[in-house]
């Protein structure tokens, strides 16, 4: 389980920090911070993210109840829940960050969703 946590954190950091730099030239991609701030303006992004997070938390609660009952724990299911929550919050901003240039963002043209 320790190696799975290290792997998950490493993959998350790699994906997140490779797209965090802001572009300066017109043909550079926008950064992750710009993409997240753009997505935060969308109600659908928040609604879908909150619903999936609640479903993941409910699944984690059921896993804890099962663990308290008979001591079984599924690391694969726990990783799946964590991956689903991270995916729903980071997929759309990462697509925008990688596909939208600074020039397109200045014209309010967002590519990636």
pLDDT of residue 17: 67
| Mean pLDDT, residues 42-64 | 93
Q: Which two tokens stand for residue 44?
A: 């659908």
pLDDT tens digits for range 69-86: 888 888 888 889 999 998
Contact between 31 and 22 under an 8 Å Cβ cutoff? The reply is yes
Q: Where are the domains of the chain?
A: 2-106
What one-character DSSP code corresponds to residue 30? Answer: P
Q: What is the SS3 assignment for 14?
A: helix
**pTM of the shown model:** 0.69
pLDDT of residue 56: 93
Give Cα separations from 11 to 7, 17, 57, 80, 94 (angstroms): 6, 10, 22, 14, 14
Q: Which two tokens stand for residue 66?
A: 């099962």
Strand partners, 101: 29
pLDDT category at 102 given cuts 50, 70, 90 is confident
């Amino acid at each position: 389980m320790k190696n799975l946590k290290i792997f998950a954190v490493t993959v998350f950091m790699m994906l997140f920090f490779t797209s965090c730099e802001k572009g300066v030239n017109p043909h550079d991609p926008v950064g992750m911070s710009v993409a997240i701030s753009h997505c935060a303006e969308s109600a659908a992004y928040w609604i879908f993210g909150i619903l999936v997070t609640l479903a993941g938390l409910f699944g984690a609660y059921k896993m804890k109840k099962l663990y308290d009952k008979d001591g079984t724990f599924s690391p694969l299911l726990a990783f799946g829940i964590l991956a689903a929550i991270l995916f729903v919050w980071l997929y759309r901003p990462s697509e925008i960050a990688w596909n939208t240039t600074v020039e397109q963002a200045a014209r309010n043209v967002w590519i990636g969703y």
